[in-house]
Amino acid sequence: MGMPKALVREDDGTSWLRRSMTVLRDGGCDPITVVLGAGAAEARLLLDGSVKTVIAGDWAEGMSASLRAGLGVLGDAGACLVSLVDLPDVGADVVRRVAGLGADPGVLARAAYDGEPGHPVLIGRDHWAGIVDTADGDRGARDYLAAHDVLLVECGDLATGADRDTR
């Protein structure tokens, strides 16, 4: 991408970070925790004060660093919805469908697009330690999810779920 994805802006000037916050909020997520890494100082300027932020100091390790940092500050939440900033067609309707499964500590579910697993991912508290222990590099929770029963929530009627790696 050539820059931190949180700082990428659409043609209308909206940053991917700001768009993602709006999608999560409109999808019913509250509170929202944003994990920042590369470009954290600049990204922080895009936030509106309604979200909690955490810095993944080891962000260069990949998605796993962000995931560990985020899970480490969630307090007593029963579950969390993990999403990414580079999913331009994933809207609030997808977030509502996946997050609507609830905050049970044992929940483990993710959006699927035409049967293919994607984001967002709903992770109950019972799984956080296992994910932190196995998250490595840019694989995030991939290995943990592959080794466990995950409910796929079909969202292909709402979006493609494709991430963007180019502007």
Amino acid at 73: V
Given phi > 0 = left and psi -120 to 50 = alpha, else beta, which region is 13?
left
Q: 91 or 12, which is more confident? A: 91
- pLDDT tens per residue, range 5-59: 887 888 888 889 999 999 999 999 999 999 998 888 888 888 888 899 999 988 8
140-147 mean pLDDT = 93
Q: How many residues are there in the chain?
A: 167
- pLDDT tens per residue, range 118-143: 999 999 999 999 999 999 888 889 99
Which residues, at least 6 apart from 141, have a Cβ–Cβ distance to it below 8 Å? 67, 82, 121, 123, 131, 134, 135
* pTM for the whole structure: 0.93
Domains detected in the chain? 5-154 (3.90.550.10)
Mean model confidence pLDDT for the chain: 92
HEC string for the chain: CCCCHHHCECCCCCEHHHHHHHHHHHCCCCCCEEEEECEHHHHHCCCCCCCEEEECCCHHHCHHHHHHHHHCCCCCCCEEEECCCCCCCCCHHHHHHHHCCCCCCCCEEEEEECCEEEEEEEEEHHHHHHHHHHCCHHHCCHHHHHCCCCEEEECCCCCCCCCCCCC
